[in-house]
Amino acid sequence: MYAGSRKGTPLAFVLAVASGKGGTGKTLVATNISALAAAHLERVVLVDCDVEAPNDHLFFSSVEATNVRVEVPVAKVDPSLCRACGRCRDACSFGAIRVLRGSAVVFEELCHGCGTCMDVCPRHAVHEVPRPVGEVVVGPVAGHDRLVLVTGRLYVGEVKSTSVIRSARSAARAITADLVVIDAPPGVGCSTVAAIRGVDALLLVAEPTPFGLHDLELSLELGLKLQLPMGVVVNREVGASDEIDSLCKEKGVPIVARIPFDRRIAETYARGELLTDTLPAVSEILAGLPEAMRALASREVVEQ
């Protein structure tokens, strides 16, 4: 049945929800399709990878969540061993080491934790210490059997979003599931890539505005570069969206759903509620999305 995932739990279909522009409706789509799929007897893991602004948890109340700190290794120099030779500084590709007052000093925010400086230090004066940059919260969701929420959260003041995203995804892989839904951060940079790399299919949420069109084009470009099977959801549609339609046609990416502009959707979302109870018609549009994306992904596998 399933296209099969390249990585992770056997049988789990991994679907990422992303967009270049912020606020197009990623969280709306990701939370609602997860809850709907779980209601249809699928074991679902929803992974909030928008670690700078994680909001999925606001739509659910989780029970008995476990909280694991995300730590990244950063280099630390022991000044009593360091002879200020500068080899670590010269080897560092990130400009994270300076030599000041007779000892090398590491600027932790710039350190990627690659370990190169430890390799080159002739006096073994460099070691690594863990730096907490965020947390991953995992827990079942009250009122939604079979749904597990994994939330990645970057600590305020930290910048290593990608480390938190990778940790959230690896926590999700440890859970047996039929469907994994990843709520990706906005943009097309390294954070988005960390969230969507190696997924089975990519669902792009676009709004039919000049800004939305421009940013959808960038997202499509990224998806094509990563060779991911893609589908587009047009959100807040008012009348026809000719420009989005022709862009998708040009790129050979199907539009898999259209959500009409409806103030009630915005109001429901604003309250932190799912659409299931208040707007069954819209729920129906979203309920079919995982299946549509599975079909799309398996078609691409056959074609290859």
If we measure between CA atoms, which residue out of 214, 195, 196 comes closest to residue 206? 214
Q: Does 267 bind other proteins (CB under 8 A)?
A: yes
**To the nearest whole angstrom, how small is the minimum distance from the Cβ of residue 171 to other proteins?**
16
Nearer to other proteins, 178 or 215 (CB): 215
Among 272, 280, 284, 301, binds other proteins (CB under 8 A): 272
**Interface with other proteins includes 21 (CB under 8 A)?**
yes
Number of residues binding to other proteins, judged by CB under 8 A:
55
86 binds other proteins (CB under 8 A): no
107 to each of 76, 82, 125, 156, how far by Cα in Å? 9, 16, 16, 18
Angstrom distance (rounded) from CA 250 to CA 246: 6
Decide: is 188 part of the binding site for other proteins (CB under 8 A).
yes
Nearest to 265 by CA among 279, 277, 276: 279
Task: Name the token pair of 227.
Answer: 């060779």
Q: Which residue, 119 or 250, is less far from other proteins as judged by CB?
A: 119
Which residue bears the tokens 């990519």?
A: 202
Q: Between the CA of residue 69 and those of 21, 63, 133, what are the distances in Å?
A: 29, 18, 8
CA distances from 116 to 87, 96, 120, 131, 202 (A): 10, 12, 7, 18, 35
Q: Which residue in the set 5, 24, 151, 241 belongs to the binding site for other proteins (CB under 8 A)?
A: 24
173 binds other proteins (CB under 8 A): no
Instruction: Select the span of 38-46, 61-69, 150-158, 250-258 touching other proteins (CB under 8 A).
Output: 150-158
Q: Contact between 251 and other proteins (CB under 8 A)?
A: no
Give the HSE-up count for residue 219: Cα atoms under 13 Å, Cβ half-sphere.
36
Select from 8, 139, 152, 186 the one that contacts other proteins (CB under 8 A): 186
Handedness of CA 181, 183, 187, 189 (dihedral sign): negative
Residue 277 sits in the site that holds other proteins (CB under 8 A): no
Residue 301 as a binder of other proteins (CB under 8 A): the answer is no
Binding positions for other proteins, 37-56, rule CB under 8 A: 52-53, 55
Q: CA nearest 56: which of 143, 148, 122?
A: 148
Can you give the binding site for other proteins, defined by CB under 8 A? 20-24, 27, 52-53, 55, 58-59, 73, 91, 93-94, 112-116, 119-120, 154, 156-159, 161, 185-193, 197, 209-211, 214-215, 218, 221-222, 225-226, 263, 266-267, 269-272
